[in-house]
Amino acid sequence: MKKILVLLLVVNFSFAQQNKRKLVWEENFNGKRLNEKSWNFELGDGCPNCGWGNNERQLYTKQNHKLAKNKLVITGKKEGDKYTSTRITTKGKKEFQYGRFEARAKLPVGQGVWPALWMLGSNINEVGWPKCGEIDILEYVGKEPNMVFTSLHTQDSHGNTINTKKTRFDDIEEGFHIYAMEWTKDKIDFFIDDTLVYTFQPENKTEAIWPYNQPFYFIINMAIGGNFGGPEVDDNILPQEFIVDYVRVYQ
């Protein structure tokens, strides 16, 4: 009986915390065009760090996306000998510090696709990467079916992926799922649907370990190939679509 009461108290506390939050920004992709008051396009191959520093094979364009049925659809495809896709950010337009950040999305599948929903520190132009910090709310690579990656990159890790968790979900490629992060001054929790999959809570929060005391901005993209997504790409699976229903921020 005591265990049941404790569980109820925990659940009620969680609901109370949820109810205290307010929706401060949402993107429902319900227009005819992407709202460029909130979003930027990043184009090309990332030169002078070609392949965006990861040896990715795609060129980013404005033509590889559309808004359809109140959803953002990013299409990765091969055109001739070139792979193309789309990458958008809220840099300088919508930046946030602390709160619950979530998106509902449907993944592409197949060898070579690498969709992601992630965030970078707003001071990246001043201090560079990885000192600015990176938060990967969702990463998926088609070469590892049923797996979702949630990761952080910091100066302490020299940009390497050491603060990370790979979680298996046997139905993750089926339909839409909610990918979320809850970020406070003390810790960052990652969720897939209602499942807590990873917590980052270092005791020693030096600048190199914890750059998460400043605003961050969103990035949504689908890479093709690269150090993490490839290097091999199965052209037969293309085109593939990364579909995002919404993005929301609660504080």
* Residues identified as active-site: 134, 139
Angle at 119 between CA 114 and CA 120, to 5 degrees: 115
Tell which phi-psi region holds residue 122, choosing left (phi > 0), alpha (psi between -120 and 50) or beta.
alpha
Residue 50: phi and psi, rounded to 5, are -55, 145
Segment holding 24, helix H or strand E: strand 23-27
> Exposed, middle or buried: residue 127 (CB in 10 Å: 0-12, 13-18, 19+)?
middle
Q: Token pair 């929903």 is at which residue?
A: 117
User: In 82-145, where do the E strands start and end?
Assistant: 82-85, 87-89, 95-96, 99-106, 113-121, 134-139
Using an 8 Å Cβ cutoff, are 159 and 153 in contact?
A: yes
From CA 93, how far away is CA 34, in angstroms rounded? 14
